[in-house]
Amino acid sequence: MKRLAIDVRPGEYAVAKLAGDAVVPQDLLAPGGDGLVSVTRTADEVSVISPVELAPAGAEIESGWRLLTVRGPLAFTLTGIIAALASELAAAGVALFTLSTFDTDHVLVKRADLARAVEALRAAGHEVH
């Protein structure tokens, strides 16, 4: 696996679940906000990943996540990035939640596991900042 540059983003993140027919709160997608916001809709749910302070009211919320972002942009032809990161973190006993954007990949780990995650990624040869 190629050596990656990974940035630990500031702040705490939440993963939230709304009903599949829920209206997405417009303030989640307002321009100018700091941090990553991702909204995914399926027939059964609307999942939101956001800074904890933006988690939608009334949602089922799992908080306490920290965000690690692979520096991009990454070419669509690259393979195995998430698989490698997941394997390296799994070997260290770190659970993760992943998502990808057009430019790059993101991994969320629980706040309590952040130090162990950073150590495992560095041991695998990645630059973690």
Instruction: Give CA–CA dist 51/12, Å, rounded.
Output: 6
Rounded CA-CA distance 65/109 in Å is 5
Evaluate whether 19 touches 46 at the Cβ level (below 8 Å). Answer: yes
Alpha-carbon gap, residue 30 to 71, rounded angstroms: 24
- What local confidence, expressed as pLDDT, does residue 2 receive? 76
- For residue 123, give both structure tokens: 């041991």
Nearest residue to 98 (alpha-carbon basis) of 85, 88, 111: 85
Superfamily of domain 5-128: VC0802-like (3.30.2130.10)
Residue 1 clears pLDDT 70, i.e. is over it: no
Task: Say what the pLDDT of residue 70 is.
Answer: 98
User: Residues 65, 13: contact at Cβ < 8 Å?
Assistant: yes
Please write the tens of the pLDDT for every residue from 40-65. Answer: 999 999 999 999 999 999 999 999 99
Handedness of CA 69, 120, 55, 23 (dihedral sign): positive
Longest dimension (CA), the chain: 44
* pLDDT higher than threshold 90 for residue 80: yes
pLDDT digits (tens, 9 = 90+) for 84-127: 999 999 999 999 999 999 999 999 999 999 999 999 999 999 99
Domain boundaries, the chain: 5-128
